Amino acid sequence: MTVALTRTKAEQAFPEMFEAVAARLPGGAAVAEARKAAIGAFVGLGLPHRRLEEWKYTDLRAALKEVPPLVLGDATPVTRQQVDTALERLADLDAHRVVLVNGAYRSDLSDAKARGLEVASLASELQRSDRAIGDALAGASEPGQEAVTALNTAFMTDGTVVRIGDGAKLTKPLLLVFVRVGREPRLVAVRNMLRVGAGAQATVIEAHVALPGAAAGQANVLTQIEVGDGAGVLHAKLTLEGADATHLASWQATLGADATYRVFHLTAGTGLVRQHLAPTFAGEGGRFDFAGCFLGRDAEHIDTTMLVDHAVPGCTSRELMKGVLAGRARGVFQGKVIVRPDAQKTDGKQMAQALMLSEEAEFDSKPELEIFADDVVCGHGSTAAQLDDDLLFYLRSRGIPLAQARGLLIESFVGEAFDKIEDEKLREALLAIALPRLASLAV
């Protein structure tokens, strides 16, 4: 007996919208072919749901009730001061800045010029219509992410293409700003393609923010980064898009020989977040070091899922996730590390910890190791707990008010993750963004 799967309203809306906008999407024949194949793949897959192992804690089929209109070439007036307001303390950084408003590159708000650095709008690159970029788009998929990646490929309207030359050393961070504006909900689909040349050194920051009063919307963001042999990259991300916003993100990273790729995520104030990281070691001696902090309140849902692929010998990976949950917030961390048969001398460690500030909060942690080699050092752990009453009593006995005492303990708990940010100014800026939100959770 064949059982037909009923499509939800959102699952029907995506292909219908694609038919309506396909002719206006940027790109030539090769890109159009990749888009058509992608929407076809989505039709076959549908939205991810809890019966899929990678999505058992984040059911998009149930969560996405509507599909807002896709933004095409937004030209909403936005000033640099408004962008600075949305960025909060990140605006104080002396950085090369690239700004996209509702997914559209804005040259009037951008300034990214340095020796060894090339930045272009993805929309302009797509117009070249060459087969190479079409193939790159079609091949951007990861296990468990196929449906979300397919939607990104089908609908992407713009993004950034960043090339950092061999041996280049950027003295200032590259700040990629994605600002959501407008009074009506919109779907934003962007793609970022970054190549860091051999021996290069760079700090890249992604900031996904919203102007005050911006309507809730959906964002589908895919970032592909290639870290060349011997290169070093610090890649930080801030997600702060609004209590009713939906943010679906994928990071696909390839690490060359002796490359170092350090990642930091700060997620807060966003209704539904699903972030998928997929670093792959392509050369021996590589190092991947991830630290993250998520702050959830009310009914916010924050999911970080990771697939670390040790495909070659002699590489090191570290993952540390810290979460603070209040109200009915739900945090998810799924960390899977695969050690391939030839990946001897692999060193992999993983830890996820959550601080529960209410009885209704929920933390789901699923660490996984798949080891097919025998000469490895790997381990993982996960904990969830409430604030320590003895420590609270100790602080209060010294005259510290309850709310302040709770705040100090929460700050101490997440501090380990922030300490892994090597750039002092970036660390101070992100911590300044987090602290008032930590204080509000402590009350």
Q: Does position 125 have pLDDT exceeding 50, yes or no?
A: yes
Average confidence (pLDDT) over 351-379: 95
Residue 134's pLDDT band (cuts 50, 70, 90) = low
Alpha helices in 68-110 (DSSP H): 80-87
Classified as helix, coil or strand, 201 is strand
CB-side exposure of 318: number of CA atoms within 13 Å?
11
What is the spatial distance between Cα 136 and Cα 295, in angstroms, rounded to a whole number? 34
- pLDDT > 70 in the chain, percent: 96
Q: Are strands 117-121 and 158-164 parallel, antiparallel or unpaired?
A: antiparallel
Joined together, the tokens standing for residue 300 give 């916010």
Q: Helix (H, G, I), strand (E, B), or coil: what is residue 99?
A: strand
pLDDT confidence bin for 442, thresholds 50/70/90 = confident
3-state secondary structure of 362: strand
- Flag whether pLDDT at 300 surpasses 50: yes
Q: Contact 68/61 with Cβ under 8 angstroms? A: no
pLDDT at 4: 47
Give the closest residue to 282 by CA, choosing from 346, 227, 203: 227
The one-letter amino acid code at 49 reads H
Q: What is the pLDDT of residues 79-99, one digit of tens each?
A: 999 999 999 999 999 999 999
- CA distance linking residue 336 with residue 213, whole number of Å: 38
What confidence tens digit (pLDDT) does each residue in 226-280 have?
A: 999 999 999 999 999 998 999 999 999 999 999 999 999 999 999 999 999 999 9
The CA-based diameter of the chain, rounded to the nearest angstrom, is 71
Residue 340 has pLDDT above 70, yes or no: yes
Residue 315 CA to residue 425 CA, distance in Å, equals: 29
User: What's the confidence (pLDDT) of residue 127?
Assistant: 79
Distance CA 298, CA 296 (A): 7
Residue 204 — very low, low, confident or very high, per pLDDT cuts 50/70/90? very high
Q: Which residue from 110, 131, 137, 132 is spatially nearest to 121, judged by alpha carbons?
A: 110
Average pLDDT value for the chain: 93
Instruction: Sketch the domain layout of the chain as residue ranges.
Output: 9-386
pLDDT of amino acid 1:
40
Altogether, the residues listed in the chain come to a count of 443
19-30 pLDDT, tens digit per residue, is: 999 999 998 888
pLDDT for 30 equals 86
Instruction: Please report which confidence band the pLDDT of residue 141 belongs to, taking 50, 70 and 90 as the band edges.
Output: low
